Structure 1
Amino acid sequence: MPILDFLLERDFIELNQLLKLTGLCDSGGAGKQLVASGAVRVDGVVETRKTAKIHAGQRVQVGASEIRVRAH
């Protein structure tokens, strides 16, 4: 499983933007579609809120990829 580390520079990032910035989708709109499809898990639970606030310490999984969100 590819693991991506994302360095969070503020309090949170919206889920669709995280997917875009890590390269798991091409745009924020594509990120929203990916989330709406039920293909994204946050801390092991399916997340369907497209703009869910993701904080440092959380893990986001899309298919075989995992994003570890770290504090700056």
Structure 2
Amino acid sequence: MEVKIRDEYIKLEQLLKFTNLVESGGEAKIVINEGLVKVNGEVELRRGKKIRENDKVEFNGETIVVK
């Protein structure tokens, strides 16, 4: 799935909510803290990680590419 953002970046937890992969910020915090989210192939534990153009986020069998 490709997601277009209009700003320079989007925070990881906001991206998960925006794409409806999680229902809330609390759920995003849990899945990130449990090491279930990868950014560019690496497990990411920071929910405030800045996701920029061409970054790839993987969670729950879904892959998001930011454009």
| TM-score (norm: length of structure 2) | 0.95
User: Does the Cα contact within 8 Å between 1:16 and 1:29 map onto a contact in 2?
Assistant: no
The AA in structure 2 aligned to 1:56 is E
What is the total number of aligned residue pairs between the two structures? Answer: 67
Name the SS of the counterpart of 2:63 in structure 1.
strand
Is 1:50 matched with 2:30?
A: no
- The gaps in structure 2 that reach 5 residues or longer are none
Superposition deviation, residue 30 in structure 1: 1.1
Superposition deviation, residue 63 in structure 1: 2.4
Is 1:37 matched with 2:34?
A: yes
Match of residue 60, structure 1, among 52, 57, 60: 57
Task: Name the % identity.
Answer: 36
| TM-score (norm: length of structure 1) | 0.89
Match of residue 2, structure 2, among 1, 5, 12: 5
| Higher strand proportion (structure 1 or 2) | 1
Runs of 4+ in 1 over 3 A off after TM superposition: none
